[in-house]
Chains A and B, each alone.
Chain A
Amino acid sequence: MRLSNYVFLFCALILAAIFSSCKMIDSEPPSYDLINIKYHQLTIDTLILNQISTSGKGFFRILDNELYFFDKMFYTVNKFDSLGNRSSTYLGMGNDSSEIEQFEYFINLNNHKRLFFGNDYRFRLYDDLWNKNGEDFIFNRNRPKRKYTKRDFKDPGMYDFNWDMSRLSTFWLPVNSNHQVIMPLTVTNQRNKKFNRFVNQDVFYANAKTFGIVDGFTGKLVAVAGEYPLIYRQSKYLDLFANNYMEVKEDTILVSYEAEKNIHVYSPQLELIYTFGSTGKKMNIDYPISKGIENYTNLSFADSCEFNFGYYTHLYYDKSYDLIFRSYTTGDKNFSGLQIYNQKVLIGDFKVPRKFNIIGKVNQFYYADGLVSDSNLSIFRFKLPKI
Chain B
Amino acid sequence: MKISLYLSIVISVVFFLLEISTCYSQIHFEKSRIVIKQNQKHPDSTINEIFFFKNNTESDVLIAEVRTSCTCTTPGYSYDLIKKGQKGYVMLSTTTRQLMNSRKVDGVVKITNQKGEKFFYKIELRYD
Residues of A within 8 A of B (CB): 53, 55-56, 71, 73-74, 76, 92-94, 374
Contacts and interface: CB of A to CB of B under 8 A. Distances in A.
A92 B65 CA distance: 11
Nearest to A56: B122
Given A74-B108, A93-B108, A93-B110, A55 B120 contact: yes
- Chain B contact residues: helix, strand, loop or mixed: strand
Contacts of A71: 120
A341 B120 CA distance: 41
Given A73-B106, A73-B108, A74-B108, A92 B120 contact: yes
Given A55-B108, A92-B110, A93-B108, A74 B120 contact: yes
A121 B81 CA distance: 35
Contacts of B120: 53, 55, 71, 73-74, 76, 92-93
Contacts of B106: 55, 73
B118 A94 contact: yes
B19 to A, nearest CB: 12
Interface of B: 64-65, 67, 69, 106, 108, 110, 118-122
Given A73-B108, A93-B110, A94-B110, A374 B122 contact: yes
Contacts of A94: 64-65, 110, 118
Given A53-B120, A73-B122, A93-B108, 4 more contacts: A55-B108, A73-B120, A92-B110, A93-B65
A350 B118 CA distance: 42
B105 to A, nearest CB: 12
B118 A53 contact: no
Nearest to A76: B120
Nearest to A99: B118
A53 B119 CA distance: 8
Contacts of A74: 108, 120, 122
A93 B122 contact: no
A73 B69 CA distance: 9
Contacts of A56: 122
Contacts of B108: 55, 73-74, 93
A71 B120 CA distance: 11
B27 to A, nearest CB: 9
